[in-house]
Structures are given as structure tokens and as C-alpha cells.
Structure 1
Amino acid sequence: MAKIAIDAGHGGSDPGAVFEGRQEKDDNLRLALAVGEILQQNGVDVFFTRTEDIYQTPFQKATLANESGADFLVSLHRNSSPVPNQYTGVESLVYNKAGEKLEMAENINSQLEEIGFRNIGVKERPGLVILRRSKMPAVLVEAGFINSEEDNRMFDEDFDRIAQGIAQGILDTIQSSGAAGMPEENVYYRVQTGAFRNPENAQRQLEKLVSEGYPAFIIEKDGYYLVQVGAFLNLGNATRMEGTLRSNGYQTYITT
């Protein structure tokens, strides 16, 4: 099972960026908890560097993640600019542009771009302590500018989709890279909610599932567009997800 360390940037006496009373540390924690919950629902072992409003140095955060034995570290932040409403968009920071951390950063950015954020790209920041001191691939995500009214509107109105997008970017990387030494022959259990000849029908169901907070996606196979939810290593987690979807009116079955 892959293990992900999720860090809510700043905290306690360190509010991070502040705009009109809005504190970055609060947005970071709310987003970290939401992303972590989605990952757990998908069978990922999650370690949180903090789950409450406490202060930690970046070195402490990296040390906690290292000691947890996590395979990846994702630190969640909001960006800021010298002048309000000067910039908009999401970007991810990495120690260097190589390996799985770059893939994860690009996957997360792409997911958030689909929601409507401007994709600023992936940038190298070898001087950042949390990226330099972490022993595993690490990504720092700047989820929009906290002093941008447009980005804040999107952060608040599309919060569930943002959390889902970040989680999906992480899941995509885990599945493609064989994280945590997981062999390719590992079986992933998925909950299928529909099989459509018409891609528009599949897209409508996908959008409904995503709007309800489910980690849904479409796979094209043998002329059908299959709408599926999750990618679970643990059959029990897939069974619980199937039960939830079925109780919400979806016709489901578990596939691999």
C-alpha cells in the first residue's frame, strides 16, 4: 500500500499569506484534510503532518514526513503576490524537475487546470527546506493566489473539486509509477457505475459523480465508455464505496 504524507503549510503562530483577514494556514489545513480523506477512501495510507492549528518549522514538517515512512510528500499552500489581484493560477514546486515528483506535480496541475485554474507550471525550488530535507519525492502545491478574488472564489465554490483534483493527481502518479515498490501485477478494485456507447452520456454521469465528490473517471474499452470510481488495493474499501454509491441510486458492480 502506498503511503502519502500530506502537509498543511504554515500553522499556529505562522499564518502564511494573509488577505483581508483570510489566513493561508486555514485554507491549507482544510484542503489537506479533504485531500487526505479522499486518498484514504481510495485505499491509500495517509499521514498528516498536522490536523490542527499548530506551529511547525519546515524542517519539523519534513522530519515528521520522513519518520512516517511515506512514499511521497505533498505540501499544500496558497500563493500570494505583491499586489492584490495581480496574478491568478496554480503552480507546483519541486526540488528539481526529475522523476516521480515532477510527474506528480504535472498531474496535479493538469487536474486543477481542468477545473478552471490557470496552470502556471512546475518550478524548481531547491532552497525550500521542506523539499530539500524530505527523503521521498516531494511536491509543494500552490492552490491559487490567496490575494486574488477570482482564485478565492474558485477555491470556495469549487473546493470539493479542487480536493478531488489534487487527490486524483496523486492517485494517477501512484498507479503509473508503482509507488512504494508495488509490483505492476497488484490488482486494483474499481466500482463501475455505467457503460455507455454514447460518450456524452458517460460524460454526464462523470460530471454528476464528480460534483458529488466521488473520484470518478472514464475508461474507453471495446467501443464502450466505462464510468468508474476509485482504484482500491483493498477489496473492503471498494466494497464500502460500492455500498455508498448504490445507496445514492447508482447501479454498481466491482471490477478490476
Structure 2
Amino acid sequence: MKVFLDAGHGGKDPGALGNGLQEKDIALSVTLKVGEILKRHNVEVIYSRTTDVFLELSERTNLANKANADIFVSIHCNAAENVNAKGVETFSYPNSTKGTALAKCIQDSILQSKIYTLNRGIKTANFAVLRQSNMPSALVELAFITNIDDFKILKDKQEELALAVAKGILNYLGVKYIEKTKIDCSPWAVEAMEWAKKLGLTDGTNPKDSRLI
């Protein structure tokens, strides 16, 4: 599977600002972390940007369309004049069944991670990146950069946010998430260990057990 990851904003466009943070920096950091998790699961990842550069919205979707990506996921932070506004929400393009399913997988995964208790829901919007992408697409607003509680999550919980988004994408793709300690081994080694555990030869804590050699 081929996943296109779009870190929102960048370069001369900082995106939302709040509590000393810039949306473009949070989006890029989380996006790169999401990509690394997906690549560990043998998912091909293409990025709109991997550095602090500016791209037009059409450039982002053109890259995804040209790459013939299977899905498009854009990562952002939210903002509001009301500093009490908080929570997570994920958007898909109106009447896109697959886009809605993708958005739901990502939204549900973030909520299940327990990073948030406030669910702002799955919504639809005529955003350019959703409208112009040829594949199922979703745009996730991770949190409100203007809210002090959400700010702390965006600042200190980027690994957890990335893992939740990645798990949501993997769920949509039908790829089972494997813990990092296991996936760092070769696939056959993981299968062999699972086989040995089923036979009662090991509990998985001592891979050099003489019974396994």
C-alpha cells in the first residue's frame, strides 16, 4: 500500500499560532513520526514535505495523484479565538464513503489512545486537499494550539499522537499493528517465536533458549 502524508503549512506559512508554537512545526514533526511507523509495517510512504518548505495546496495533491497513492492524510493543528475550544476532529470530503471510513479510523484511534477525552467528531469539509486528491483522503486536526491543555499535548505527546494516527491508518489498510520490539526482527523470526509460544516452548522472553536452537 502507498500512503501520502501531508504535513500542513510550512515555510512562509506558519499555520496556526499559539502558546509559543507554530502549527507547521507540530504538523511536520508528527507527520514524520507517523511515516516511520508505517514504513516499519512495509507500507510505502510519500511525503508532501520533510523540511520547513512552503507548498501550494495544489502542489500537495498533485504529488499524491502523480504517485498514485492509495490514501491521502493531511495533518494539522486547530486554533480558535476562544481559548477554551479544545479536542480532536477529523475531516473527509463530502459524500466520500471511503474518505469517511479513513477519517473514522484515525479519529477512533486517537480517542482510543486516551490522549483525549473530548471528541469533536468526524466531519466533512470542502478543503482543497480533500477535494483535489483522487484517492480516499482525510484531514486530522490534532488539537487546539490556542488551548493550554491541548498545547501541552501538542508539545509533549507527539510520539503518542503519531502512533495513534499511524494505528488508525493501518486499521483502515487492514494491516495489523505490531509492537516495535517485535517488528525490528525479521518477519520469519517473529513467526517462529509465535509458533514456539503456541507449543509452550517459550514465553517469548528468552529468544536464545536452547530449546529453540
TM range (shorter): 0.7 to 0.9
Q: Are the aligned partners of 2:19 and 2:151 in contact in 1 as well (CA < 8 Å)?
A: no
Deviations 1:127-163 (A, max 9, x none): x111110000110010011111111212333321211
Q: Are the aligned partners of 2:16 and 2:23 in contact in 1 as well (CA < 8 Å)?
A: yes
Q: Are the aligned partners of 1:97 and 1:123 in contact in 2 as well (CA < 8 Å)?
A: no
Where does the alignment leave 5 or more consecutive residues of structure 1 unmatched? 177-187, 192-208, 216-228, 231-235, 243-248
The answer to whether 1:91 aligns with 2:89 is: yes
Which amino acid is the alignment partner of residue 54 of structure 1?
V
Q: Are the aligned partners of 2:144 and 2:150 in contact in 1 as well (CA < 8 Å)?
A: yes
Q: Are the aligned partners of 1:104 and 1:139 in contact in 2 as well (CA < 8 Å)?
A: yes
Deviation at 1:99, TM superposition (A): 2.1
Q: Which residue of 1 aligns with 2:136?
A: 137
TM-score by length of 1: 0.69
Partner of residue 187 from structure 2, selected from 238, 251, 254:
238
The answer to whether 1:9 aligns with 2:8 is: yes
Distance 1:19 1:68, change over 3 A: same
Deviations 1:203-234 (A, max 9, x none): xxxxxx6xxxx49xxxxxxxxxxxxx66xxxx
Partner of residue 103 from structure 1, selected from 92, 101, 104:
101
Distance 1:60 1:251, change over 3 A: farther
Distance 1:251 1:138, change over 3 A: farther
Distance 2:34 2:189 in 1: 18
Deviation at 1:108, TM superposition (A): 1.0
Counterparts of 1:1-256 in structure 2, within 5 Å, are: 2-84=1-83, 86-114=84-112, 115-117=114-116, 118-126=118-126, 128-175=127-174, 214=180, 238=187, 250=205
Distance 1:241 1:155 in 2: 34
Q: Which residue of 2 aligns with 1:179?
A: none
Structure 1 stretch displaced more, 94-103 or 159-168: 94-103
Where does the alignment leave 5 or more consecutive residues of structure 2 unmatched? 192-203, 208-213
Distance 2:188 2:96 in 1: 37
Q: Are the aligned partners of 1:43 and 1:237 in contact in 2 as well (CA < 8 Å)?
A: no
Deviations 1:69-115 (A, max 9, x none): 1100000000011122x211110111125422211211111111122
**SS, match of residue 163 in structure 1:** helix
Deviation at 1:36, TM superposition (A): 0.4
Structure number having the greater strand percentage: 1
The number of aligned residues is 193
Identity within the alignment, %: 33
Deviations 1:16-56 (A, max 9, x none): 00113311000000010000000000110000010000001
CA RMSD of aligned residues (A): 2.6
Q: Are the aligned partners of 2:19 and 2:148 in contact in 1 as well (CA < 8 Å)?
A: no
Distance 1:29 1:89 in 2: 20
Distance 1:240 1:77, change over 3 A: farther
Structure 1 stretch displaced more, 38-47 or 19-28: 19-28
